[in-house]
């Protein structure tokens, strides 16, 4: 099971997210990855299941305005990625997490129905 950390702060987000992820390093079989934003940070210790080589998380949309990380597997991600590509989204990997920011961008809350 992956480990996910989210920090909501206006100070030392890089330091805080690294500390949080190091506390849960046993939750993944890959080194942790993270993104730092103004007022927040998001990161994951990934237990690789799908697309082990390019599956680093968090994943972003093309503009790097929407990020996602997950603990799970999206079984129909190939079909969803094909649909998103037909709508003009650039999906770079076969990783199931990568489609999440694009699904949100395209469908908002309806993506979960």
Catalytic residues: 2
Q: Which helix (H) or strand (E) holds 59?
A: strand 59-60
């Amino acid at each position: 099971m992956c480990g996910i950390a989210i920090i909501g702060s206006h100070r030392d987000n890089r330091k805080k997210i690294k500390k949080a992820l190091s506390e849960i390093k046993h939750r993944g079989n890959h080194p942790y990855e993270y993104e730092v934003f103004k007022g927040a940070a998001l990161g994951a210790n990934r237990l690789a299941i799908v697309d082990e080589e390019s599956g680093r998380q968090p994943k972003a949309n093309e503009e790097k305005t929407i990020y996602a990380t997950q603990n799970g597997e999206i079984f129909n991600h190939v079909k969803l990625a094909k649909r998103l590509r037909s709508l003009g989204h650039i999906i770079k990997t076969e990783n199931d997490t990568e489609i999440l920011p694009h699904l949100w961008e395209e469908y908002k809350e309806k993506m979960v129905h």
